[in-house]
Amino acid sequence: MPKEIEINDEKIHLGEDKQVNIGIARLPTYTSIDLSIRIIRAKKDGPVVLLTGGLHGDEINGIEIVRRLISGNQLNLTSGTIIAIPLMNVYGFIQNVRGVPDGKDINRSFPGTKNGSLAKLVAHTIVKEIIPKIDYGIDFHTGGASRANYPQIRCVLDNEMNLELAQAFAPPVILHSRLIDKSFRKAAQRKGKPIIVYETGESMRFDEHGIQTAIEGTNRLLNHLGMREGKLDSPYKPAVFKKSSWIRSKVAGIFNPKVKLGDIVKPRQIVGKITDPYGNESFRVINRNEGRVIGLNNSPVVHKGDAILHIATSELK
């Protein structure tokens, strides 16, 4: 780690705690929108870890996780640096939507360009100003729409450093997740900066259990990297899965799940039912493979083809 880190022409030295704002663009009202970055540096040399939330503007849990971690400087770093961006997508946050005003997804716009769409401009800023400064990262996410996620780390299991970071975090579930084209994680990995993704809860809702699990997991990871003193044991022995798949509704109607997030399910188990609104018909939802429920659609009203249950399968023993 260098003695000074420079972001947006501002220099942050060892032992400093500084807020840096990078101007992105303006709203039609001519209100400026900034990417607000907190840099917390210990007095001693060490790794640089990036903590990010709100890449999708309606994913409130990630924003709250990073906010709580940096609030009052409770990280208690003994070495190294935290670069924290609680809210990466200010535009989506303002409008309570996933993307930016033109409808594009920032997490499918990397590495971006300074002359492209708004999503590509935000992505370009992150790639240019932030990724070169870090060693590792945790990107905090939340399930989309009304779909809730069980606390889990997603990473590339074949990547030794990815797996090491995930196991040090020690969540209830670790799931293999390939690198997706034009994603934040893939753009960082191409520059040799491993980033793992944490998922919990659903959009526009706090998941207190998942938030606390993330805070404790982050502290365990920082301990593992030698950035904090002491040891924080995990209440979980992480279950590691190679695959996952969604069970989709075969009919439209009212969905009543018979399982909860985190439940272990067996082949041919009835995991829910879909009824018509009038009490005349009822259809069973049957699970196909042994696994664990890591995603659940909380919307009672479903259409044919809707994703209703996400099952992690092929557990590594």
Residue 302's domain comprises 244-316
CB atoms closer than 10 angstroms to residue 8:
15
The total number of structural domains in the chain stands at: 2
Q: Are residues 46 and 134 in the same domain?
A: yes
Going from the C-alpha of 179 to that of each of 154, 165, 168, 184, 197, the distances in angstroms are 10, 16, 20, 9, 11
Residue 232 located in a structural domain: no
- Given a cut of 90, is residue 310 above it in pLDDT? yes
Region 49-73 average pLDDT: 95
For the chain, what is the largest distance between any 2 Cα atoms, rounded to a whole number of angstroms? 71
Q: The domain spanning residue 159 has which CATH number?
A: 3.40.630.10
Q: Is residue 41 within 8 Å of residue 11, measured between CB atoms? A: no
Residue 230 located in a structural domain: no
- Given a cut of 90, is residue 3 above it in pLDDT? no
The pTM of this model reads 0.96
Q: Is residue 151 within 8 Å of residue 199, measured between CB atoms? A: yes
- Given a cut of 90, is residue 305 above it in pLDDT? yes
State the pLDDT confidence band at 1, using cuts at 50, 70 and 90: low
- Given a cut of 90, is residue 267 above it in pLDDT? yes
pLDDT digits (tens, 9 = 90+) for 174-204: 999 999 999 999 999 999 999 999 999 999 9
Lowest mean pLDDT among 57-66, 128-137, 225-234, 258-267: 225-234
Q: Are residues 105 and 216 in the same domain?
A: yes
Indicate the length of the chain as a whole number: 317
CB atoms closer than 10 angstroms to residue 234:
16
Higher per-residue confidence, 25 vs 246 = 246
Q: Are residues 142 and 191 in the same domain?
A: yes
Q: CB burial class (10 A; 0-12, 13-18, 19+) of residue 267? A: exposed
